[in-house]
Structure 1
Amino acid sequence: MQERCSYMSHKRQHGQRRSWEAIGSRLIPFAWKEIYGHRVGTRKPGVKDKKFAAYQEEYNGEDTIISTLDDGEHSAIRKIFSHAFSDRALKEQESLIRKYTDVLIDNVSQAPGEIDMVKLYNCTTFDIMGDLSFGESLGLLTRSEYSPWVKAVFGNIKAGSLLTLGYQYPFLLSIIKPLVPRSLREQARLHFEHSAERVDRRMEKGSDKPDIWNLVLEKEQGKLTLPQMHANASIFMIAGTETTATLLSGLTYLLLTNPAKMAKAVEEVRGLECKDDLNLETLPRLKYLSACFEEALRCYPPAVVGSPRQVAKGGSEICGNWVPENTQVNVPQYATFHSALNFKDPDSFIPERWLPGTGYDSDRKEGLQPFSTGPRNCIGKK
């Protein structure tokens, strides 16, 4: 609810003011490169805001690929994990991913009545990420139910959302912290413990699967300590699961409520000779389906609010305006993606806008950065 109110407020304000104007804590919607991009010449991108990194810390105190403030440390951690998220790794993992998507399709086709697609998508993404992170399935799809661990993950996300509000408005933090239910704080702890136990088990028994740890340790043996593995596994089970399920749920809703566009996507997919032709190699050639995913990311971005940064020492120019050092800045995704300053017909689901010659060539498509941009963009965006 807090995120919903926040991004609707941002959207109203950005629709009413000039694109460069600061709003609240300098929420500037057209500044991806200036805020998050790589250092170029004298341009100094923002640094990660330590107030917001505080709620991303893991229970064992280890920095993760998301929480670390130090750019050098982040680069080192990212380099280690890059082997597990490369094109080669994705190709090796394709059969594992397909195994779970086949089970998802079977569950949907055999369902006797109404089905909860949000739950099924979450079961699928958690099973896939569980296998990639720990070398074993969580078994959610076979039961079509959440395990206590997955419920703990959702509790962890809720607790984080409440704490984000407190860090956004520091004068409220002393009020909000006591209001976070003990049960939510306990679920955050349980999530970390479950992740650590699974990593330990995976390392003890070994695996010949192309999971994250095999791909990482093959290239970077000894570069990660066990506590670092615990902390980052905990992050992957949040960042690689619920976010993907959110996108898939949004896309399913948008297609079902726009039957003509659904028919186009179905026709394109069924134009393949057999289901085995629907693979990582052919997916980019399905232009309309790809456009549907792009548009779903615009309509329902999994990360609706911005990732806060602080303007670097000495200040910086953002969108042609000088912003003082230590100012908090970010790009609120939902507001940016639904601004008429960026997109024509911003509140409509129009996959065609991502195809040439459809009347949407004037859209500022570079404004769509659902995985962020720069050196700290999402490592799992592929």
Structure 2
Amino acid sequence: MYGLLVAVSATFFFVSYFVLRPLHNYFRDPKGLRKYPNINAIAGITNIGFMYESMQGFRSKKLAELHKVHPVIRIGPNSLSYGDINAIKDIYGHNTKCIKGEFYETLSGTHFHLADVVDKPEHARKRKVLSSAYALKNLEGWEHKVADKTERFVRGCDKHCTAPLSKEHKRPEPKDCTFDYRAWSNFFTLDAIADIGLSERLGFLDQGSDLVVGEKMDGTLHKVNFRDCLHSTVRAQSQIVWSAEWYKFNEKWSRYVSSAFARYWKLNEGWNDIVYHRATQRLARYRAGEVLDDFFQALMEDKNGVPNNLPWGEIVAEVSIMMNAGSDTTAIAMNNVMFWLLKTPAVLARLRAEIDAVLEPDEVVAPYDKVKHLPYLRACLDESLRITPPTTFGLPRRTPAAGAPILGDFIPGDTTVSMSAYVAHRDERIFPDAETYKPERWLADNAKEMQPYFISFSAGARGCIGRNISYLEQTVLLASVVHRYDFALPHPDWQPERWETMNLGPGPMPLKVWRREIPGAAEVVAVDEKASLI
């Protein structure tokens, strides 16, 4: 009898809390959000609706289709997605009253980092600490590190070169498609950010893999694959974070009901170990008196050598976001632009002519000064960032307690609002023929009018602080490889697999690669493995 009573009570609680309460709130509609169409049948009632969409792998694509009809979509009981580009300044602009909210609080660790800190004065403090390190004037200091990584990328590429693709065949032999551009571009960005940020040589480009040492809190060292750990972490988080109040419970519960999630969370431990080892090793060098020109030095002290006295947890958090955001989005961008160039040969031919005109036939690494102002090169990069922005999901913001107007409508306080870059970049009023890769649009007379709606690096005061580094890396690598090589996709209709977490990550992109015959070049030789590198 007692067992029956417990079972009935538990059932009553479950039905009341998870069914009746959400339905009651939905029909009571205290914020007036029921007038907006839902992304699916249950999104207005429970966050499980958006969690389901996240598990499908490309929720922003569905939002883009819905936003063709509806300027505002309800994606959760307290969450709205916007599809009208005029909402950008209301949500993300410099004068917005909206702030980062529970999404960032949920995923933060013991200390906030620059990307997830919610409090505006605290964000300003953090940005001030790092602004000197990320400043545009430091490009000269970063360039030799990027050139070094480019030369190592070229060395790896040379090892995978095959005979040229015959003009009669448009489809290379599968055995020749051995160069995974997705992996190698990620090796590049990981090596680059570790060097720029921590003065550490990871050596991924040299070894052709991302096997790296991690360190547990007890000092135990072990080896893990960097990309597996990072990507598994964000894949798990991105599927369950939308129900913030249940995040911790779902994190524990998912380990036992899903073998995939059990693997994700295990690899997440590896990610923590990777970050911890990077931070402790760099701290040891700092304490030993090494003064290095990197981001870690900026964390420890200002430009006058005055200590910042940051807590250790904050330093580790900043190293974590630097190794994450500082590598993944740029690698995705590098992969995507190569894909679009190979899918549009006329664009590639025009870009190659522009690059060949400024580089010597035998130049291996494109000097940044020679290529940084090439208009078509920048247009190719920006058009790739537009049509396939690396960060696709709508960066969530929270309206202030007093509420705020968005698109002329008053949105009550503490409501989550967002706009996906993938959606914004498909507005035909600003980007005609939006599904077509057309770099020429960025050279047109109205190109400046598009800039406020180009949000691959977000917008406003919370825009990406690493924008300059990303463009430097993308520009030098793309110019160098387009000048030196020809590439081919596995077949003309080939498309990458894409999975959306917070970023829209492509799967492997195996290419056939061979050396170009550059007019005016002497006989081209491979980069000497034993030659001294920068």
- Normalised to the residue count of structure 1, the TM-score between the two structures is 0.89
Among all aligned residue pairs of Structure 1 and Structure 2, give the percentage whose two residues are the same amino acid. 23
Task: State the distance in 2 between where 1:213 and 1:121 align.
Answer: 24
Identify if the C-alpha distance between structure 1 residues 164 and 175 changes in structure 2 by more than 3 Å, giving closer, same or farther.
closer
1:213-362 equivalences in 2 (<5 Å):
213-216=296-299, 217-219=301-303, 221-274=307-360, 275=363, 278-357=366-445
| SS of aligned partner of 2:89 | helix
The farther-off stretch of 346-355 and 228-237 is 228-237
CA contact (8 A) 2:229 2:268 kept: yes
Do residues 85 (structure 1) and 85 (structure 2) align? no
Q: How far apart are the structure 1 equivalents of 2:309 and 2:246?
A: 41
Task: Using the TM superposition, give the Cα deviation of residue 174 of structure 1 relative to its aligned residue in structure 2, in angstroms.
Answer: 5.9
Residue type of the alignment partner of 2:112: D
1:192 is aligned with what amino acid? N
Corresponding position of 1:152? 229
| Secondary structure at 2:323 match in 1 | helix
Quote the offset at 1:280 in angstroms.
3.6
1:164 matches 2:241: yes
Partner SS state of residue 405, structure 2: strand
Q: CA RMSD in A?
A: 2.4
Alignment deviations for residues 10-39 of structure 1 (CA, whole Å, 9 cap, x no partner): 10111123x4x4543321132222111223
Q: Give secondary structure in 2 for the equivalent of 1:329.
A: strand
2:90 is aligned, of 13, 27, 34, to: 34
Please list the CA deviations of residues 30-49 of structure 1 after superposition, one character each: whole Å capped at 9, or x if unmatched.
2222111223xxxx421111
Paired with 1:265 and 1:328, the residues of 2 have a C-alpha distance of 42
1:76-103 Cα offsets, whole Å, 9 max, x none, are: 0111011111112222111011100111
8 Å CA contact retained: 1:343, 1:363: no
Alpha-carbon distance in structure 2 between the residues aligned to 1:309 and 1:209: 36
Q: 1:319 to 1:349 in 2, by over 3 A?
A: same
1:190 aligns with: 270
Q: 2:151, 2:364 within 8 Å by CA — same for their partners in 1?
A: no
Task: Report the Cα offset of residue 213 of structure 1.
Answer: 1.8
**Alignment partner of 1:326: what SS?**
coil
**Structure 1 residue aligned with 2:253:** 178
SS at match of 1:241: helix
Separation in 2 of the partners of 1:267 and 1:164? 46
Q: Which amino acid aligns with 1:26?
A: L
Q: Which runs of 5+ in 2 are unaligned?
A: 1-53, 162-175, 212-223, 256-260, 469-534
Bigger relative contact order, structure 1 or 2 (CA pairs below 8 A, ≥6 apart): 1
How far apart in 1 are the matches of 2:238 and 2:437?
27
Q: Using a 3 Å threshold, how does the CA distance of structure 1 residues 255 and 155 change in structure 2: closer, same or farther? A: same
Equivalent in the alignment of 1:12: 65
Q: Give structure 1 stretches of 5+ with no counterpart.
A: none
- The alpha-carbon deviation at position 247 of structure 1 amounts to 0.6
| Letter matched to residue 16 of structure 1 | V
Tell me the CA shift for residue 199 of structure 1: 1.7
Distance 2:365 2:186 in 1: 25
Which residue in 2 is equivalent to 1:210?
293
Q: In 1, Cα distance between the equivalents of 2:320 and 2:246?
A: 30
Larger fraction in strand: 2
CA deviation after TM superposition for structure 1 residue 185, in Å = 2.0
Distance 2:107 2:349 in 1: 42
Q: Which has the greater radius of gyration?
A: 2
Distance 1:171 1:83, change over 3 A: closer
The separation in 2 between residues aligned to 1:354 and 1:260, in whole angstroms, is 16
Which range is displaced more, 97-106 or 147-156? 147-156
User: CA separation in 2, counterparts of 1:22 and 1:202?
Assistant: 46
Per the normalisation by structure 2, the TM-score is 0.65
- Tell me, yes or no, if the aligned pair for 2:387 and 2:437 is still in contact at 8 Å: yes
CA distance in 1, matches of 2:55, 2:327: 21
CA contact (8 A) 2:241 2:247 kept: no
Provide the residue aligned with 1:137 in structure 2: 201
**Counterpart contact for 2:188–2:204, Cα < 8 Å:** yes
Residue 362 and residue 228 in structure 1: after superposition, are their counterparts in 2 closer, same or farther (change >3 A)?
A: closer
Between 1:25-34 and 1:74-83, the stretch displaced more is 25-34
Q: Aligned AA for 1:56?
A: L
Contact 2:182–2:335 (Cα < 8 Å) also in 1: yes
Q: CA deviation at 1:209?
A: 4.0
Q: Could you tell which deviates more after superposition, 88-97 or 202-211?
A: 202-211
Does the 8 Å contact 2:404/2:413 carry over to 1?
Answer: yes
Q: Distance in 2 between matches of 1:336 and 1:176?
A: 32
Correspondence 1:49 to 2:101:
yes
Counterpart AA for 1:372? S
